[in-house]
Amino acid sequence: MERTCLAVVLAAGDSTRMKSNVSKVLHRVANRPMIAHVMQAVASAGVSAAALVVGRDAEEVAAAARVPGIEVEAFIQKERLGTGHAVLAAQEAIARGYDDVLVAYGDVPLITEAPLRAARQGLAEGSDVVVIGFHTDRPTGYGRLLVKNGELVAIREEKDASDAEKAVTWCNSGLMAINGRKALDFLRRIGNGNAKGEYYLTDVVEIARSLGGRVTAVDAPEAELTGCNNRAELAVIERMWQERRRNELMLSGVTMIAPETVFLSYDTVIDQDVVIEPNVVIGPGVTIESGATIHSFSHFEGARIGPHAEVGPFARLRPGANLGSKSKVGNFCEVKKAEIGEGAKVNHLTYIGDAFVGARSNIGAGTITGNYDGVNKHETHIGERAFIGSNTVLVAPVSIGNDAFIASGSVITSDVPDDALALGRARQEVKPGRAKLIRERSLAIKAAKKS
């Protein structure tokens, strides 16, 4: 839209019912603060400026609300006197003059751009106020949207509704769009002549109509308007977000054998023809490219899995893991800040950290890159087609050349050139009868302890 728009996002909740020392909107859904989900939807709806109404944790909330494409300005709500009062906390921003003012809530993280755009479109078509509503078969407790001749005539609260009005299933979400040129006038006319002495944003509907304005409503899916007040509701929202995103990915060509056991993050990218087995957790910053196979009970964060790579079962990829095409990281392996080259294999019980593994190299079971000296991290470089025998420790910094061969059980502390064989273990000694003496001594010590 070419129309200018300010989003006023209410995010001053105290987190009382969350039983938390952290602001409610900072609690995470899909590893992202709730407020960031809302701001992303707002930005996608063509909004370039936002007035964030905050209370506790103001700086942290404002920081979490900053997403690309939208300029955020925070306003402190010092008193809690209702939603109308909260929106007026941002009157300085509203007064700058926008075509549209969009009111949203920071604890509704499932909202998408579609209903926000629909509300703005209603303003573009001549409405002064557009309320976003939802249909539900459980309307009890919600304000009802009463429509006549295509216009919204009132929002009737449950306690004030007649029996006929209580039968209405179109309910108020609290989100709305207001004509930006008239918004301040409408908001300043809201009174507090009610039992609670609060200023209700919903009064804007009758105020606008009393001034000859047109008020309409648009519909949105009930799920998108689910708010969060406590930890149980947070879990429900997480489940709903996961179900929605899994479905999107499966429709795009991703196979999930047991989708309800796969957990995604807000920024997870998975290409088509990826197969994901049950019980996989994907943290932030993960990309899985086409044709990869993810086996069960694997956990990823900050990693890239290249095309046709194979990972798991029971594999952990930590930030900086970069797996090349057709590479393999197998069972009970951990990779951190390391590049695994094309066709390279890290098959069993292995830790690769701060390392480069060249194409088609083979890392044997139980291999460890000793990257930490207690103070600093150091790098290990393994060339192409190298063979690292089982139970090897590569003490960084160290470089293993192309086509090099490291004997099993070695501790490698010096560079190994191309095509070389390296053995870093003591020569075996056999002492006949010594085991019997050791056993007899151990039994004697045990017996002495009992006496």
Which residues are known to be catalytic?
A: 348
Closest CA to 178 of 131, 134, 144: 131
**CA 432 to chain centroid:** 62
- Is residue 157 within 8 A of residue 191, CB to CB? The reply is no
Q: How many CB atoms lie within 10 A of CB 297?
A: 17
DSSP class of residue 427 equals P
Sign of the dihedral through C-alpha 259, 262, 267, 272: negative
The neighbouring-strand residues paired with 73 are 51
- Is residue 370 within 8 A of residue 354, CB to CB? The reply is no
The identity of residue 369, as a single letter, is T
For residue 230, what are its two tokens? 């406590």
From residue 354, how far is each of 212, 340, 369 by CA, in Å? 68, 11, 8
The DSSP-derived string for 351-418 is EEEEEEE-TT-EE-TT-EEE-B-SS-B--EEE-TT-EE-TT-EEESSEEE-TT-EE-TT-EE-S-B-T
> Whole-angstrom Cα distance, residue 102 to residue 45?
10
For residue 261, what are its two tokens? 């056991």
Closest CA to 362 of 331, 327, 333: 327
Sign of the dihedral through C-alpha 404, 407, 408, 414: negative
| Residue whose entry in the numeric block shows the structure tokens 């025998």 | 389
- Is residue 280 within 8 A of residue 297, CB to CB? The reply is yes
- Show the DSSP H helices in 167-230 as ranges: 183-188, 204-210
> Whole-angstrom Cα distance, residue 363 to residue 360?
10
Sign of the dihedral through C-alpha 51, 53, 189, 166: positive
From residue 134, how far is each of 35, 176, 235, 408 by CA, in Å? 21, 12, 22, 66
The identity of residue 203, as a single letter, is D
> Whole-angstrom Cα distance, residue 338 to residue 320?
6
